[in-house]
A and B are shown apart, each in its own frame.
Chain A
Amino acid sequence: MIVYFMCFFLFLVGLYGIVTRRNLIKIVISFTIMEFSVFLFFALIGYVENGKAPILTKNLPENPVFVDPLPQAMVLTAIVIGLATSAMLLAIAIRLYKKYGTFNIREINNLRG
């Protein structure tokens, strides 16, 4: 059970980073930490004690124990989506750097109210 709570703790670490950091790149890194904690959670819920990879072979034991493959497939999809999100965030961060000459969000504040 403790491992699930540590996974949730990692999620909160990412959230804390997004809220408190002032540097655009650090915000992106915090966001990625949060993202990977969710992926880790998915990998955890698919795990079965002493389970094997779910592949049908000829000489299987009597009552085979398999891990759940569905969360793994979901994690793969989610990682690809996460790649797109991170790439988009970094692209915008670099564009912002070109316009403002800084990564500090305190100085990037045209929009107020």
Chain B
Amino acid sequence: MSNLVPLYVILPLASAFLIPSVGRLVKGFQKALLSLVLLFLTAMTFYIIFSGLDQPIAYAVGGWEAVKDTPIAIYMVLDGLSVVVLLIVNLIGFLATFYSISYIKKYTAENNFYALLSLMIAGMNGVVLTGDMFNLYVFLEIAVIASYALVAFGIEKTELEASFKYQVLGGIASLWILFSIGMLYWKTQTLNMADISQILANDTSDAFMIFTQILLISGFGLKAAMIPFHAWLPDAHSSAPSPISAMLSGVLIKAIGVYAILRLFFNMFALTYEIGMVITVIGTLSMIIGGLLAIFQWDMKRMLAYSSISQMGYVFIGVGMGMIILIRGGETSVAALAIAGGLFHMINHATFKGLLFLNAGAIEHTTGTRNMKMMGGLARTMPITSTTSLGASLAISGIPPFNGFFSKLIIIVAAIQGQFYLLAVLAIVISIVTLVYFMRFQRFAFFNKTTFSRKVKEVPFTMCFSMVVLVILCLALSLLIFPGVREVMLTPAVDVLMETTNYSSTIIGM
């Protein structure tokens, strides 16, 4: 089993190499190759999930064995948390690729598009799997450099400007992360996360470690577009081609932002009250400010991008509360509930935000505009887009029986049980605000009178297929809350974060 783990990086990386070289000669090669690769990886992830993952699978790159319990190889670690993130990366990646088959026809340079997309997926899979700090940085850069190029893919004025802004801010974040990796290496003389965790466990936190932690959380917070660092996200996510927006908003900010923060601050550093507080506070700010800014947007994709900031705030609140409760020594069941809520919302957000961006792409594809004032009456002419987008809007605003309701419910229940009453009230209020701006989106896009004269028709099959699959997922993921299904996917991921030292001791013990 452990020999299959590197395939997550090798296959997309190899296809990124093959697509520009072979794709030029064989027609349709690029679409077929990338779709098949991602479908295979998704199937493999499902297989791993359902075959049960009680022990983390570790793969030592190069076959270097540990010497006297000191790991020297770069490890790739597949455990309950990473498998969940891998699933959303590859599944949403597959659907976005399938969607692109029709969508990307209006651009030239199809080969470059698919090559960059597979490079981005290789980078994200690497970030999720790696157990080594410097390797994390390398994969992170692979993913973000590909995403810089993809944001600028339209090479119009706005795309280029958004990409430049994104690159400068993202580059600063990368340097902060690299700098703090240097600090960590200076302190511990190792790069393996498990090893670092063992060495730091005996260490009381001093000014040096606090500085490193602040640098790391700002770096990854910038990558995840938390509120003081959010300036690039609405520009970059709204300028990219729509399938890429779905990948950026649905997957990239989770894989390289949220996942990295969770892995480092739960499993590598010892939990501290201050970090828990920082995560909760920036989560709350993101939730409120992102939600309020989204109301005033008339550009459809910009509104969705601001709403991403707001929804990621919910994820951060969930895990931040869990962290604080764990530190305070409160009830572990409440902490587990809060973390489960955060992770569940992260999975859900990938599905419904991905779907909403694909809907926005479909609307842009047929009407040629992103301004909500310019569209209307699309419900009659584009029934599939309209229905799926209604489903996604209800899911993101937290209406039962869609998945968004259950994850928000868990977060709110955990907030009440953990005595964060203010957070619970704010989460409910922002949920209503979300409902307001998504109902506005529905009304202006689909139900008003038609304001343009161009004849519109439903989008082609591959685009419809991706949207329908995602709306089914939005409904089906609600099942994750029920006992029996929960144990398959959600509980192992929560356990990885709850038993914070388990990660390092199993990796070192191998």
Contact = CB atoms under 8 A, between A and B. Distances in A.
Interface of A: 11, 15, 18, 24, 27, 31, 34-35, 38, 41-42, 45, 68, 70-71, 74, 77-78, 81, 84-85, 88-89, 92-93, 95-96, 99-100, 108-111, 113
B164 A18 contact: no
Interface in B133-172: 134, 137-138, 141, 145, 148-149, 152, 155-158, 160-165, 167-168, 171-172
B162 A111 contact: yes
B56 interface: no
B179 A41 contact: yes
Contacts of B161: 96, 108-111
Given A18-B172, A45-B185, A111 B138 contact: no
A31 B173 CA distance: 11
Interface residues of B, number: 35
A98 B158 CA distance: 13
Nearest to A28: B168
20 contacts: A24-B164, A34-B175, A38-B179, A38-B182, A41-B179, A45-B185, A68-B189, A74-B185, A78-B178, A81-B141, A84-B145, A88-B145, A92-B167, A100-B157, A108-B161, A109-B161, A110-B158, A110-B161, A111-B161, A111-B165
A108 B148 CA distance: 18
A29 to B, nearest CB: 12
Given A85-B167, A110-B161, A45 B172 contact: no
Nearest to A77: B138
B482 interface: no
B373 to A, nearest CB: 16
B443 to A, nearest CB: 22
Contacts of A88: 145, 148-149, 167
B195 interface: no
A43 to B, nearest CB: 10
B186 interface: yes
Contacts of A45: 182, 185-186
B235 interface: yes
Please list the 10 inter-chain residue pairs (A to B) with the smallest Cβ-Cβ separation, ordered nearest first: A45-B186, A111-B235, A81-B141, A92-B164, A96-B160, A110-B158, A99-B157, A38-B179, A95-B160, A41-B182
